[in-house]
Structure 1
Amino acid sequence: MKTLKPTNILIFAVPALLLAAAFFCTLFIQGFNWSLPDFMIAAILLFGTAGVINWVINSEKTLAVKFIICGTVILALILIWIELAVGIFGSPFAGS
């Protein structure tokens, strides 16, 4: 059986805490109204990004390559999140 390292737990705790914060904001803040599909998409994006970052960190690549790959993955997450929220590229799945 494979044991979890503290870094693995931290990598996957961040998306869980972000989703918990969004859930409590939905409960207590008037203008913050996420539905179940919003939470599902956010969970897929956040935990998918965490999984890729975890995979890259545990790979045999050099530190510089790990930083470049992780930075690219985080940049892709940010661009997709912004597109879903406000539609900066005008794609069919854009928000607003």
Structure 2
Amino acid sequence: MQRHDSLSGVLLDDTALTLDELACACNVEPSWVVRHVEAGVLGDVTVEVTEWRFRSNDLARARRLLHLERDFDANEELAALVLDLADEIRRLRGRLHALGLKS
């Protein structure tokens, strides 16, 4: 007899996380998130801190930044640069694939 488990959840694209929720999801202090938003690496610095909301792409980016900083002992600037370059490579490969060219 097979067991069928089901999962339920909320799509993060339809739900925005607060500063504290993002920090909790990444297991970091809110000050870590604030530093990265103020550096222009996460979220939108043009709105007031009390109105900051983070989407699923912000959560994924924050986790990748944290991974780079912790696992490779990278400072914040280096981690952001590596992440930006990796994102650009991913975008370019996607364009090559869309054009039917090998990546």
State the TM bucket, normalised to the shorter chain: 0.3 to 0.5
Q: As a proportion of its length, which structure holds more helix?
A: 1
TM-score normalised to structure 2 length: 0.35
Q: Specify the structure having the higher radius of gyration (Cα).
A: 2
Structure with more contact order per residue of length (Cα contacts < 8 Å, sep ≥ 6): 2
